[in-house]
Amino acid sequence: MSADRWTRKVHRALAGAGVRLVGYVPDAGHKRLIELCQADASMRAVVLTTEEEGIGLAAGAWLGGKRSVLLMQSSGVGNIINVLGMVQVCRIPLVMVVTMRGEAGEFNSWQVPMGEATARVLEAMGVTVRRAESEGEISSLVKDALRSCYRDGSASAILIAQRVVGIKSFQDQTNR
């Protein structure tokens, strides 16, 4: 399956669930999905200076009755830890789609420590982790997270394994 196919399916899952706000800090692995959301008139894509802002955005959107999603790479999980406390205390529905770095195929050693800690950090702050090891399962995990988070007032992150995104070098990343 190509990146085009899984990103289209995830975009359809977001649209189908009524997601109206899409906060993001860019990642090469999210490039196509960000473009699809930007091109969708029913959605507003909001570029953030840091992932932490996406948590405030999601909280405000839900106070106003709108659903949102947050797109980021795993390094961004380190930037949201404290503010996840608000999500937990207020039971704000939160769905994050996270492309992994620091795993098999990583070319930058500075990405490794946060990549290795990502799932544990999320779980420590009460976020349910759903891990996609293949392209075929990404959109169904996103759908499942949207359904349960907006039903239960819970938070979930879908972690997309780095080998699924398959970026092998800085050059490859730049060419996306």
Partner 1 sequence: MKLHRRDVVTKLLEKRGKLLVIAGLGSTSWDITAAGDSDLSFPTWGAMGQAAMIGLGLALAQPKRRVLVITGDGEMLMGLGALATIGVQRPANLTVAVIDNERYGETGMQATHTASGVDLAAVAKACGFRNSRIVSKNESFRKIVHQTTGPNFLQIKVVAEKLPLALPPHDGVLLKDRFRRALLGKSADVLAEKG
For partner 1, the closer of residues 82 and 134 by Cβ is 82
Instruction: Quote the CA–CA distance of 56 and 86 in Å, as a whole number.
Output: 9
The H or E element spanning position 87 is helix 84-90
Written as six digits, the tokens of 55 are: 């948590």
CB of 165 to partner 1, least distance (A): 25
Instruction: Quote the CA–CA distance of 24 and 2 in Å, as a whole number.
Output: 22
Query: In a 3-state reduction of DSSP, which class is residue 109?
Result: helix
For partner 1, the closer of residues 31 and 91 by Cβ is 91
For partner 1, the closer of residues 20 and 131 by Cβ is 20
Query: Is residue 153 a contact point for partner 1 (CB under 8 A)?
Result: yes
At 145, give phi and psi (nearest 5°).
-65, -45
CB of 139 to partner 1, least distance (A): 14
Residues contacting 8, CB < 8 A, separation 6+: 36
Please list every residue from 20 through 59 that binds partner 1, using CB under 8 A. Answer: 20-21, 44, 46-50, 52-53, 55-59
Max Cα distance, the chain (Å)? 43
Query: Is residue 6 a contact point for partner 1 (CB under 8 A)?
Result: no
Say if residues 146 and 19 touch (Cβ distance below 8 Å).
Answer: yes
- Binding string to partner 1 for residues 60 to 99, with x set by CB under 8 A, is what? xxxxxxxxx-------------xx-xx--xxxxx------
CB of 57 to partner 1, least distance (A): 4
Residues that bind partner 1 (CB under 8 A): 16-18, 20-21, 44, 46-50, 52-53, 55-68, 82-83, 85-86, 89-93, 146-147, 150-151, 153
